[in-house]
């Protein structure tokens, strides 16, 4: 039997020993209680199927009164000590042709009786799927009634169904067929609360996810954050299959639930992360904050993921000074890591970033050349103005002695000091900008950032010098005009101190005639939370509704006229 010697069986069955030999077909050994059909099911010889057919035909001829419904008496369905029939052993050894032949020996229309014979009832079908026997599974499913097939497709003990087995299949065609055949089991959960849809992201079969979404697109929103498991396991292809189904909807889903793949992804190298960020819409989420205000950069640093941190810091749109709910920014965490670990410090030097440097106006991603040129022009102009004002003093000079006529006036002294300070700070800005051209990028950034502070001081000192200079020459003749000038210039100095105050004042004084719709992706890139986005959208909707109502009232009025 194990060697597949067909000729020997043919010889015996055609000899005088046929009858006693056939009676031995149902005999079992003493240890495992296996009969010849059990042995045949575990044999890898090509001619095994032919031997089995000879034995079956011989048995039928020897026992003409055999009944197909009498499963207990038929040797090809007999169970061994492990409660396994030849059918199960054939499936386990992936002898699919033999398993099909054994199934076809059960000629009754209803296959339920055969499946019920092997306890538990789902065993046969589950084994066919687990061992990649698609023809066996298709044959069984085709002979089951959909109204009663639940107990054969589901394990009553642990709650698993056949769809839990599909993600582990290597035969994609077979797996896709099962998805299309029994889609109702995709999202059913076992006793551990896990469905086949959940399991797929732990294992990572992209073909299964694609097949499910093509069959039932509603599954996309049934478990909106199930893809986080694929990220944690590094199954990028599975995540891509989910995203590619609807990239725009996935982006909106991440914004709505305050979560992104970048908060969970685990990859082994820098190249993997660089390729990961090329996934559609992934770069739109690099500054997304989760429910605790944590960005992907925060998370990467907290997890000690050096490669992801370097990849994110290399992006132009990354914002590393966004603070979480604990008022801690990613750059603060990075500075601490650089102090504690030399590898992190080397990484920062490699990309030209010093996290220990704190700036107010500019980041390391800023185009320093353009900023330097702009500041240089403004500082030079202020230096020229204040230098000239120092030799054209208000009130003039004594023609005989050359002394300033108003030198003892308090307002004149304020003018002189403020003009001197304006010249001092504007020249200091020029000096800082000149030296910034020869320092490394980190120190240049600091000098340029400080130059912005000094330039603001120089501007305010220039305004103060102008205000006091005008007061000196105008107040004696027209006090009210001098007061008006002081109020105007003083207000200008006041609103220029804070950029937000300046913006709010200008927005109130000169409202925009048509405001552009807000870009949600741009808001995420800037670190605006979803609650803020919702508030902004609500305001926009209310504004649009008011506008529509006004337009409708106008149309009604025109109709009346």
Phi, psi of 488 (to 5 degrees): -65, -50
- How remote is the C-alpha of 262 from its chain's centroid? 5
CA 296/CA 317 separation, integer angstroms = 13
pLDDT of residue 545: 47
For the stretch 425-428, contacts whose Cβ atoms lie closer than 8 Å and that sit 24 or more positions apart, written own/partner, are 425/454, 425/455, 425/457, 425/458, 425/461, 426/379, 426/380, 426/382, 426/383, 426/386, 426/455, 426/458, 427/379, 427/383, 428/454
User: Please, which residues have CB within 8 angstroms of residue 491's CB and are 6 or more apart in sequence?
Assistant: none
Which tokens is 25 given? Answer: 């077909």
Listed residue (239, 254, 177, 170) closest to 214, CA to CA = 177
Structural domains of the chain, with CATH: 1-153 (1.25.40.20), 368-497 (no CATH)
Q: Which long-range contacts (CB under 8 A, 24 or more apart) does 470-475 make?
A: 470/394, 471/411, 472/394, 472/395, 472/406, 472/409, 472/411, 472/412, 472/415, 473/394, 473/395, 475/411
Q: What is the pLDDT of residue 241?
A: 94
List C-alpha distances in Å: 214 to 109, 201, 229.
Answer: 33, 17, 21
Pairwise CA distance, residues 211 & 237, whole Å: 14
* Cβ(364)–Cβ(445) below 8 Å: yes
At 386 the pLDDT is 87
Low-confidence residues of the chain, pLDDT below 70?
A: 1-4, 66-69, 364-366, 395-408, 512-561
Would you tell me how many other CB atoms lie within 10 Å of the CB of residue 126?
22
Tokens of 479: 């006090």
Per-residue tokens: 252: 């909106």
Residue 183's pLDDT is what? 93
For residues 22 and 64, the answer to whether their CB atoms sit within 8 Å is no
Q: How many residues does the chain have?
A: 561
Burial code (b: 16+ CB inside 10 Å, e: under 16) for 302-312 equals eeebbbbbbbb
Question: 3-state DSSP call for residue 522?
Answer: helix
Q: What is the pLDDT of residue 254?
A: 94
CB atoms closer than 10 angstroms to residue 82 = 12
Q: Are 305 and 268 in contact (CB under 8 A)?
A: no
Is the CB of residue 316 less than 8 Å from the CB of residue 552? no
pLDDT, tens digit, 9 for 90 and up, residues 5-57:
777 777 777 877 888 888 888 889 888 999 999 999 998 777 888 888 888 88
Q: What are phi and psi of 195, to 5 degrees?
A: -100, 170
Cα–Cα dist 66/186, whole Å: 42
């Amino acid at each position: 039997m194990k060697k597949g010697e067909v000729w020997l069986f043919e010889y015996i069955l055609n000899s005088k020993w046929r009858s006693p030999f056939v009676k031995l077909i149902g005999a079992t050994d003493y240890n495992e209680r296996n009969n010849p059909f059990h042995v045949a099911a575990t044999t890898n010889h090509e001619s095994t199927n032919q031997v089995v057919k000879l034995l079956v035909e011989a048995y039928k001829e020897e026992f003409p009164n055999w009944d197909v419904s009498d499963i207990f008496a038929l040797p090809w369905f007999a169970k061994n000590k492990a409660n396994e029939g030849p059918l199960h052993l054939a499936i386990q050894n992936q002898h699919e042709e033999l398993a099909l032949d054994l199934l076809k020996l059960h000629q009754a229309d209803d296959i339920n009786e055969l499946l019920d014979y092997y306890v538990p009832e789902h065993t046969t079908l589950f084994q066919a799927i687990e061992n990649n026997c698609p023809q066996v599974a298709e044959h069984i499913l085709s002979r089951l009634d959909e109204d009663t097939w639940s107990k054969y497709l589901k394990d009553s003990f642990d709650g698993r169904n056949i769809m839990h087995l599909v993600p582990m299949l290597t035969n994609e065609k077979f797996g896709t067929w099962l998805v299309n055949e029994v889609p109702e089991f995709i999202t059913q959960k076992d006793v551990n609360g896990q469905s086949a849809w959940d399991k797929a992201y732990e294992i990572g079969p992209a073909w299964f996810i694609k097949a499910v979404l093509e069959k039932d697109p509603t599954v996309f929103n049934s478990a909106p954050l199930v893809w986080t498991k694929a990220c944690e396991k590094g199954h990028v292809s599975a995540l891509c299959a989910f995203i590619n189904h609807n990239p725009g909807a996935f982006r909106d889903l991440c914004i709505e639930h305050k979560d992104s793949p970048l908060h969970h992804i685990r990859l082994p190298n820098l190249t993997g992360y660089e390729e990961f960020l090329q996934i559609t819409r992934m770069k739109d989420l690099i500054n997304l904050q989760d429910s605790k205000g944590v960005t992907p950069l925060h998370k990467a640093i907290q997890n000690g993921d050096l490669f992801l941190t370097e990849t994110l810091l290399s992006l132009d749109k990354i914002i590393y000074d966004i603070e979480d709910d604990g008022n801690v920014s990613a750059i603060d965490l990075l500075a601490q890591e650089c102090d504690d670990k030399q590898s992190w410090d080397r990484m920062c030097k490699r990309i030209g970033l010093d996290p220990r440097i704190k700036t107010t106006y500019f980041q390391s991603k800023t185009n320093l050349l353009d900023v330097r040129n702009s500041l240089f022009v403004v500082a030079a102009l202020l230096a020229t103005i204040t230098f000239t004002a120092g030799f054209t003093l208000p009130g003039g000079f004594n023609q005989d002695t050359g002394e300033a006529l108003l030198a003892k006036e308090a307002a004149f002294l304020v003018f002189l000091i403020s003009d001197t300070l304006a010249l001092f700070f504007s020249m200091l800005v020029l000096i800082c900008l000149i030296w910034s051209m020869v320092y490394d990028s980190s120190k240049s950034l600091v000098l340029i950032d400080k130059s912005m502070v000094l330039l603001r001081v120089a501007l305010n000192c220039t305004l103060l010098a102008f205000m006091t200079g005008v007061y000196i020459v105008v107040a004696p003749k027209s006090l009210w005009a001098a007061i008006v000038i002081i109020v105007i210039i003083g207000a200008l100095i006041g609103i220029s101190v804070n950029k937000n105050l300046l913006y709010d004042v200008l927005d109130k004084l000169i409202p925009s005639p048509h405001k552009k719709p807000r870009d949600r992706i741009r808001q995420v890139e800037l670190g605006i939370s979803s609650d803020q986005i919702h508030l902004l959208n609500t305001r926009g909707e209310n504004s649009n509704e008011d506008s529509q109502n006004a337009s409708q009232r106008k149309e009604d009025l025109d109709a009346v006229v």
